[in-house]
Chain A
């Protein structure tokens, strides 16, 4: 069967895009290792539907100290073909109000843990001679400024730089790294915005509508497949054509 034995690690799987991503890979016969803080109804549903191919564990990525042990327990020496860094928290405020503690918390979840997980994933791929693929979820806010998102956008900008350099460093081992630059989606992450704020954001896109989660998930999936074997070090925009 196509893709049988292929494995992917996905973070932030409890809701929204994370569920969409898991479903996409599972429907295509991949085994999914999923991480999230909370166990939602959707997680339970996936566990029931894909008993043998969906392995989920709870972890808070703000805990940067126990990540190695957690990773080893979750993956348990299996070879990984792909890593999708989807987990993120958003700390929104104007810059004159920024507080260090929530900023550090956001950097731990959005940047430090993904960098450490990339370390473990690369080492896993080296051990198993896998020509794997890494995809980081970035945000259009990196490229088009939005009031209140400066700190959040800075974490995603850090990931884009990290991904570009991962691609350069590990390209000769045929390990690829790309960023998917997502536009604003109707997810919990954007739920704090008022309808007026959302409309103004959508008016700044060519399609004048929110970015579809399914479109993002399909592109992430494509980037993890052999069909994308010549694509690395790129930022792929899936953002309703933000202008």
Chain B
């Protein structure tokens, strides 16, 4: 897991007054494990787009950290 991506997750969590996470796994679920709601996911999306230039939700719903990583890896 890239530290840049972890930091983006922590910015979103901080903005919502939640505790930060020290690590994420591919199976970490965005909603049930991290407690992110649709507005949080919107913020996550724009922060990832700003860093990596890709809109992770453009082609439908993303549920886990692993799905995001796959989309970012596909860029390389």
Contact = CB atoms under 8 A, between A and B. Distances in A.
A168 to B, nearest CB: 12
B46 interface: yes
Contacts of A129: 15
A127 B50 contact: yes
A103 interface: no
Interface in A170-204: 170, 172-173
A170 B39 contact: yes
Contacts of A39: none
Interface residues of B, number: 9
A123 interface: yes
Interface string A203-234: 00000000000000000000000000000000
Interface residues of A, number: 11
Contact of B39 (A77, A124, A127, A172): A172
A39 B39 CA distance: 38
Contacts of B46: 123-124, 126-127
- B-side interface mostly: helix
| Chain A facing B: main interface SS | helix
A129 B9 CA distance: 15
Contacts of A124: 46
Nearest to B44: A126
Nearest to B38: A169
B57 to A, nearest CB: 11
B47 interface: yes
Nearest to B15: A129
Nearest to B49: A123
Contacts of A123: 42, 45-46, 49
Interface string B22-58: 0000000000000000010011011101100000000
A126 B46 CA distance: 7
Contacts of B47: 127
Closest 9 CB pairs between A and B? Answer: A123-B46, A127-B46, A126-B43, A126-B46, A127-B50, A126-B42, A173-B39, A127-B47, A129-B15
Interface of B: 15, 39, 42-43, 45-47, 49-50
8 contacts: A122-B42, A123-B49, A126-B43, A127-B47, A169-B39, A170-B39, A172-B39, A173-B39
